[in-house]
């Protein structure tokens, strides 16, 4: 049985990342949404986007929620939650069915052709999360995006199927519920990030968005307003930090600060080879290194990640879909010169993607690290206007109910 949310309640999104938990609270203002508060906390108990310690992850969520409640002066009971991680994978598929009832395409025909397209083998621990139509054809003619009401004999579809670990999604929901939060909906984070930083023209003409988080880098490619390709790469910001810590023989915390202050994605951008003071580990005497050595470390990891993305684009012949280039977002996009390095490796226009809004949220959304959280909030607000409900009962039932709805309801 569903329960309709009270329209006086705040709209809440929770980005559960490997590095941080971000809770964003908003409220509807006509056709727009105003961010009224935010809470963040270091993320513990997650690795590469997957929960590895229920208790620690739950405490991190609680901390971020409490801060968001204080800032927004609201009580948070329910939220839309993002899901990502190294367990996410994708494949393309196709399906075809005869058009019944006089040759006019009806909703049942569309449901049947999508069911045919998703009849693909997947491993036992995986579940289909999204079935995203790329385009339809009727009788082998031109590509169309909405075949409803058209006439023909045979309906075909090309789809992009995203799969994920059922257990991983269940663990995320379980942590939220232990933190006292009812999960209203679950959304794939790279789709949420794209909604926050891409323009409608970019998605129509063709664009890629690479969300470089703490544990994974999530790529999504759009054209004609629909998804064309997704992939999750298990290399991201934490790997940069770890490389710096090992290379400079310092703590992870110090390595993170050094990376943020002095790291560059390309040695081409090194203007002055300054000296950097390094703290020692466990009371050991610190050292001094040249910035050029640090840049060699960060550039090597950035080059590795960008070459993986380039190889993915070339292997699946996706370059022709990306006419407006690539948008980088997430915390990893803050590495100095990452857009310059990406432009060199990918050989296309590259920009840093900030959450786009009307300006009223500037104090909260002034960094690409909030792209996923804001995208989740936009998604929740979109459904909120249509009378959003959440389910009561076992978490697993809610998960699968929401997964089935993602095809037709995402933006």
Q: Domain limits of the chain?
A: 2-86+166-188+369-409, 89-163, 200-355
- Do residues 345 and 365 lie in contact, with contact meaning Cβ atoms separated by under 8 Å? no
The residues, any chain, with a CB within 8 Å of residue 344's CB and separated by 6 or more, are 266
- Residue-level pLDDT at 381: 87
- Residue-level pLDDT at 397: 52
In terms of Cβ atoms closer than 10 Å to its own Cβ (0-12, 13-18, 19+), residue 201 is: exposed
- Residue-level pLDDT at 91: 85
Q: Quick count: other Cβ atoms within 10 Å of Cβ 119?
A: 8
Element (H, E) at 142: none
In terms of Cβ atoms closer than 10 Å to its own Cβ (0-12, 13-18, 19+), residue 271 is: exposed
- Residue-level pLDDT at 405: 44
Looking at the structure, give the CATH architecture of the domain made up of residues 89-163: 2-Layer Sandwich (3.30)
Distance from C-alpha of 213 to C-alpha of 301, rounded to nearest angstrom: 14
| 411 residues of the chain, pLDDT tens digit each | 344 445 557 899 999 988 999 999 998 887 778 889 999 999 999 988 889 999 999 999 999 999 999 999 999 999 999 988 778 888 889 999 999 877 899 999 999 999 999 988 888 888 887 788 889 999 999 989 899 999 999 999 999 888 888 888 889 999 999 999 999 888 888 889 998 999 999 999 999 999 999 989 999 999 988 888 888 898 999 999 999 999 999 999 999 999 999 999 999 999 989 999 998 787 677 789 999 999 999 999 999 999 999 999 999 999 999 999 999 999 999 999 999 999 999 999 999 999 876 444 556 677 899 999 999 999 888 876 544 444 344 444 555 555 444 433 433
Q: Return the bridge partners of 278, or none.
A: 287
Mean of pLDDT over the chain:
87
Looking at the structure, give the CATH architecture of the domain made up of residues 2-86+166-188+369-409: 2-Layer Sandwich (3.30)
- Residue-level pLDDT at 395: 47
Q: List pLDDT tens digits, range 239-269.
A: 999 999 999 999 999 999 999 999 999 999 9
Decide whether 89-163 matches 200-355 in CATH topology.
no
User: Quick one: fold of 200-355?
Assistant: Nucleotidyltransferase; domain 5 (3.30.420)
What is the pTM (predicted TM-score) of this model?
A: 0.84
Element (H, E) at 166: helix 166-178
Kindly state the percentage of the chain with pLDDT values over 90. 62
């Amino acid at each position: 049985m569903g329960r309709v949310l009270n329209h006086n309640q705040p709209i809440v999104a929770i980005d559960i990342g490997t590095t941080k938990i971000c809770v964003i609270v908003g409220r509807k203002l006509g056709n727009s949404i105003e961010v009224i508060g935010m809470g963040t906390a270091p993320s513990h108990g997650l690795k590469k986007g997957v929960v590895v310690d229920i208790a620690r992850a739950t405490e991190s969520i609680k901390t971020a929620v409490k801060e968001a409640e204080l800032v927004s002066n609201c009580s948070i009971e329910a939220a839309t939650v993002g899901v990502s991680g190294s367990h996410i994978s994708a494949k393309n598929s196709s399906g075809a069915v005869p058009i019944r009832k006089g040759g006019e395409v009806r909703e049942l025909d569309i449901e049947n052709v999508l069911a045919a397209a998703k009849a693909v083998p997947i491993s036992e621990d995986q579940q289909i999360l999204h079935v995203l139509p790329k385009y339809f054809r009727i009788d082998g003619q031109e590509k169309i995006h909405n075949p409803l009401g058209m006439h023909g004999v045979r309906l075909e579809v090309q789809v992009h199927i995203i799969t994920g670990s059922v257990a991983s999604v269940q663990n995320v929901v379980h942590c939220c519920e232990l933190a006292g939060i009812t999960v209203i909906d679950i959304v794939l984070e790279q789709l949420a990030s794209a909604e926050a930083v891409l323009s409608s023209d970019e998605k129509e003409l063709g664009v890629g968005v690479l969300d470089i988080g703490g544990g994974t880098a999530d790529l999504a490619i759009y054209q004609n307003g629909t998804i064309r390709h997704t992939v999750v790469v298990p290399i991201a910001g934490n790997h940069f930090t770890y490389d710096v810590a090992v290379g400079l023989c310092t703590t992870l915390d110090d390595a993170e600060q050094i990376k943020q202050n002095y790291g560059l994605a390309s040695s081409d951008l090194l203007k002055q080879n300054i000296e950097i003071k390094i703290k020692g580990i466990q009371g050991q005497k610190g050292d001094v290194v040249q910035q050029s050595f640090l840049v060699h470390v960060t550039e090597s990891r950035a080059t590795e990640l960008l070459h993986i993305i380039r190889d993915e684009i070339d292997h699946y012949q996706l370059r022709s879909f990306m006419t407006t280039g690539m948008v980088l977002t997430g915390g990893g996009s803050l590495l100095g010169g990452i857009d310059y390095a990406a432009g060199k490796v990918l050989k296309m226009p590259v920009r840093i993607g900030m959450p786009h809004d009307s300006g009223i949220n500037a104090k909260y959304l002034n960094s690409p690290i909030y792209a996923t959280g804001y995208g989740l909030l936009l998604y929740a607000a979109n459904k909120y206007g249509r009378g959003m409900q959440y389910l009561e009962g076992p978490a697993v039932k809610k998960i699968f109910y929401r997964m089935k709805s993602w095809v037709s309801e995402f933006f």
